[in-house]
Structure 1
Amino acid sequence: MPVSDYVASIRSRIGTDLLLLPGVTAVIRERDRFLLARHRHSGLWSLMGGAVEPGEEPAEALHREIGEETGAAVRIRGIVGVYGGDPMMVTYPNGDQVGYVTTAYDCELLSAAVADQDELLEVGWFARDEIAALPRRDWIDRVIADALVGMETAGTSA
């Protein structure tokens, strides 16, 4: 996963110290199934997304990240929620510490998704009960639960 020029310039001054970054997360779903990716740096399954670059609209960042990670296009249906705190703290293998505050978007997949082998090991569709058995980032459980509540509220069947 390439580091942006912006983050690299900050890292050159602060080293691996904690950096708080705005992020975006794609909750790509088809009825009761969710598209997850297994990340190369951790081996864990998670939702896809990444950091918002300076001057970039969050929705643009989401489209860019999904394109970079899978080559796919998505349609944003709405916002699931905004998440931060301890569950969103990450220490990367190189020691870089990041705290993300991410906006999770409910998305529909418009084209085939294939894992970018530099960043992702694989992608796959999973029902909620299957996700519970995966080695995963724990914070996605809350996001997926919120997405399912949003579907029920909107009258969409899960």
Structure 2
Amino acid sequence: MPRRDYEDDPGAPEANSLVPAASAVVVDHAGRVLLQRRTDNGMWALPGGTMEPGEPIGECAVRETLEETGVTVEITGIVGTYTNPRHVFAYDDGEVRQEFSICLLARPVGGALRVSDESSEVGWFAPDEVDGLPMVPAVRRRIDDGRTGDGPVVR
């Protein structure tokens, strides 16, 4: 389902849903970050998605990373919480979701890169490669926050 991201846009539609989600900054032994190109907006992003009932946030990040990229991860920390009410995702079905994501830090422990129905490309990217990729500002902020290692941020 296609989506459009709005951040600090006065023309953005008003949110009508709030769904807890997890994302993961997955860093390998060489310092590269795992990214996927989303099928719903064509932008590069961290793996992640919405929590299922009864699922802890860490398990959500592990599950979503495996589903979207083929990589099995272990959670090693927290990057931050991201709940900006001025960042919404508008879907073709009329849902307008306010951002609500816990971003976790993780390392790969198995699996192999593969695409899914949610990702058209996946790969490992060095920090200088990440800077040139098309992505929404909120995702770039999470990656940058994960790079600093300053501990959890609240945004």
Percent identity at matched positions? 38
TM-score by length of 1: 0.77
**Structure 1: how far apart are the matches of 2:86 and 2:51?**
19
| Equivalent residue number for residue 26 of structure 1 | 24
**Structure 2: how far apart are the matches of 1:43 and 1:136?**
9
| Equivalent residue number for residue 10 of structure 1 | none
Provide structure 2 residue ranges, at least 5 long, that are not aligned to the other structure: 2-14
Q: Which structure has more helix as a fraction of its residues?
A: 1
Contact 1:41 1:93 in 2 (8 A): no
TM-score by length of 2: 0.78
Matched, 1:64 2:63: yes
Alpha carbon RMSD of aligned pairs, Å? 2.2
The CA deviation at 1:71 is 2.9
The CA deviation at 1:19 is 0.7
**Given the superposition, is the C-alpha separation of residues 100 and 121 from structure 1 closer, same or farther in structure 2, using an over 3 Å criterion?**
same
**Given the superposition, is the C-alpha separation of residues 146 and 87 from structure 1 closer, same or farther in structure 2, using an over 3 Å criterion?**
farther
- The alignment partner of 2:59 has SS state of helix
Contact 2:85 2:99 in 1 (8 A): no
**Structure 2: how far apart are the matches of 1:21 and 1:77?**
24
**Structure 2: how far apart are the matches of 1:60 and 1:40?**
23
The CA deviation at 1:36 is 0.6
1:111-140 per-residue CA deviation (whole Å, 9 max, x = no partner) reads 222111x11101011122222211112112
**Structure 1: how far apart are the matches of 2:85 and 2:105?**
23
Instruction: Figure out how many residues of one structure are paired with residues of the other and give that number.
Output: 137
Contact 2:27 2:107 in 1 (8 A): yes
The one-letter amino acid of 1:119's match is: E
The CA deviation at 1:92 is 2.3
